[in-house]
């Protein structure tokens, strides 16, 4: 009879406030931690946003240098040192891209069962960085024992069509705590009062300030909204490499007084409740987890056609726009949902669409247990 929990090693860049990290933490909070514990191998020395919570839940955090090809031998040496010192890590669940093949190949030499997980698609523009990423990531499809992806598109993009359509690959739905993301009037009133938005029409956006999220076009769309409705405000939750560029763009568009940069927040659910419409013009997405969260909150989501249809929970709130359409056309669509009512019942659609974290964590826990049973045989 098992007395100690199975310790699964999650391999990731850092435990910041990104979509992959949020998905892992949703699983970690929901899974039966008496039976399964997550440990984390991170590639950053900086303290991650979720690290304190990880430690409080019983997880352990290990650090390793970031892989850059040039440090191949030292990187492998560090991996070997880890697996030699921690034989309890018999399942290695890898969420990174370019270093996955090296990490999982090393883990297998120490008897670990290896899983590669794709959380996103990539840009179709093949610049030098994306080409190098692909070259380093490509061997993963021949190394991992099993594959997970947040959508079929993410699976094909990362692992290839042959793997994506095989029985070694499964879609692992990015489950969320539906009750947590349900519309909350108290949260709405508190955030809007704190940010002086009590009387405004609030267009919302959640995500990192990075090129895939298309933040400059987001601001151009909002500028068109603002021209038609000076009472409109853009509530941007997130931060990233393009934050200063976005602020400069706000000045160029003369909307700097109407855009609120709220920063990144763990309690992002409070900010959804403060919004009136959600704008999501991404250039590419593996799934678009924030779109699922926003719909659960009862928000109409105006999204690009680059976001997989799997993100539509079926509540009639998912509205697809072509990225070739003008900012003005996007603005007109967004404004059409200005005076719509919110319903707490939208969470039931999310559950029906298989995005309930309790179902996802149960499935994953059973998957891990089955692996350990196989190893015993």
What percent of the chain is modeled with pLDDT above 70? Answer: 96
| Dist CA 72 CA 162 (whole Å) | 28
Query: What per-residue confidence (pLDDT) applies to 126?
Result: 59
Give 132 or 301, the one with higher predicted confidence.
Answer: 301
Mean pLDDT of 191-196: 97
Mean pLDDT of 303-317: 96
Q: Is 259 helix (H, G, I), strand (E, B) or coil?
A: strand
Q: What pLDDT digit, counting tens, does each position of 44-64 carry?
A: 888 989 999 999 999 999 999
Mean pLDDT of 166-172: 96
Query: What per-residue confidence (pLDDT) applies to 127?
Result: 63
Give 28 or 120, the one with higher predicted confidence.
Answer: 28
Query: What per-residue confidence (pLDDT) applies to 128?
Result: 64
pLDDT, the chain, mean:
93
Mean pLDDT of 301-309: 96
| Third-level CATH fold of 6-175+356-376 | Rossmann fold (3.40.50)
Helix axes 215-228, 243-253, angle to 10 degrees: 30
Lowest mean pLDDT among 102-106, 215-219, 372-376: 372-376
Q: What pLDDT digit, counting tens, does each position of 248-259 carry?
A: 999 999 999 999
Query: What per-residue confidence (pLDDT) applies to 136?
Result: 78
Q: How many CA atoms lie within 13 A of 165 on its CB side?
A: 3
Q: Does domain 178-352 have CATH number 3.40.50.2000?
A: yes
Q: Identify the DSSP state of 88.
A: T
Asked if the model's pLDDT at residue 130 lies above 80, the reply is no
Asked if the model's pLDDT at residue 125 lies above 60, the reply is no
Asked if the model's pLDDT at residue 177 lies above 90, the reply is yes
Asked if the model's pLDDT at residue 2 lies above 70, the reply is no
196 φψ region: left (φ > 0), alpha (ψ -120 to 50), beta (else): left
313 confidence band (pLDDT: 50, 70, 90): very high
Q: What pLDDT digit, counting tens, does each position of 79-108 carry?
A: 999 999 999 999 999 999 889 999 999 999
pTM, rounded to two decimals: 0.89
Dig out the tokens for 190 from the structure.
């508190």
Rg (CA), the chain: 21
Give 348 or 3, the one with higher predicted confidence.
Answer: 348
Q: Is 262 helix (H, G, I), strand (E, B) or coil?
A: strand
373 confidence band (pLDDT: 50, 70, 90): confident
CB atoms within 10 A of CB 263: 11
Asked if the model's pLDDT at residue 133 lies above 70, the reply is no
Whether the Cβ atoms of residue 92 and residue 11 lie closer than 8 Å to each other: yes
Whether the Cβ atoms of residue 177 and residue 159 lie closer than 8 Å to each other: no
Mean pLDDT of 35-49: 93
Dig out the tokens for 34 from the structure.
């008496």
Mean pLDDT of 58-85: 96
Q: Identify the DSSP state of 226.
A: H
Q: What pLDDT digit, counting tens, does each position of 264-300 carry?
A: 998 999 999 999 999 999 999 989 999 999 999 999 9
Q: What pLDDT digit, counting tens, does each position of 231-244 carry?
A: 999 999 999 999 99
| Dist CA 281 CA 310 (whole Å) | 16
Q: Where in the chain is the domain with CATH 3.40.50.2000?
A: 6-175+356-376, 178-352
């Amino acid at each position: 009879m098992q007395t100690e929990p199975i310790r699964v090693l999650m391999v990731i860049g850092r435990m910041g406030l990104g979509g992959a990290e949020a998905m892992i933490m949703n699983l970690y909070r929901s899974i039966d931690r008496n039976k399964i514990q997550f440990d984390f191998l991170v590639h950053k020395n900086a303290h991650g946003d979720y690290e304190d919570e990880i430690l409080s839940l019983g997880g352990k955090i290990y650090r390793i240098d970031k892989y850059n090809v040039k440090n191949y031998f030292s990187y492998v040496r560090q991996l070997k040192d880890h697996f030699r010192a921690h034989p309890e890590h018999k399942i290695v669940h890898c969420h990174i891209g370019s270093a996955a093949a090296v990490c999982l190949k090393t883990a297998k030499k120490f008897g670990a069962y290896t899983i590669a997980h794709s959380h996103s698609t990539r840009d179709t523009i093949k610049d030098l960085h994306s080409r190098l990423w692909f070259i380093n990531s490509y061997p993963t499809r021949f190394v991992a024992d099993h594959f997970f992806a947040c959508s079929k598109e993410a699976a094909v993009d990362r692992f290839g069509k042959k793997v994506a359509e095989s029985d070694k690959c499964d879609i692992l739905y990015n489950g969320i705590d539906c009750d947590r993301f349900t519309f909350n009037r108290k949260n709405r009133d508190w955030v809007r009062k704190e940010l002086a938005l009590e009387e405004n029409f609030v267009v919302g956006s959640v995500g990192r300030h990075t090129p895939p999220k298309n933040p400059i076009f987001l601001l151009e769309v909002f500028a068109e909204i603002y021209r038609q409705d000076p009472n409109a405000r853009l509530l941007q939750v997130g931060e990233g490499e393009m934050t200063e560029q976005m602020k400069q763009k706000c000045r160029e568009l003369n909307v700097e007084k109407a855009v609120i940069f709220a920063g990144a927040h763990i309690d992002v659910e409070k900010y959804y409740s403060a919004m009136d419409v959600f704008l999501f013009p991404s250039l590419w997405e593996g799934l678009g987890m924030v779109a699922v969260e926003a719909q659960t909150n009862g928000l109409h989501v105006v999204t690009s056609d680059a976001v997989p249809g799997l993100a539509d929970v079926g509540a009639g709130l998912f509205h697809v726009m072509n990225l070739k359409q003008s900012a003005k056309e996007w603005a007109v669509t967004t404004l059409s949902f200005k005076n719509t009512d919110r319903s707490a019942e939208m969470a039931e659609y999310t559950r029906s669409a298989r995005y309930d974290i309790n179902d996802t964590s149960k499935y994953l826990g059973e998957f891990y247990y089955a692996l350990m049973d196989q190893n015993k045989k």
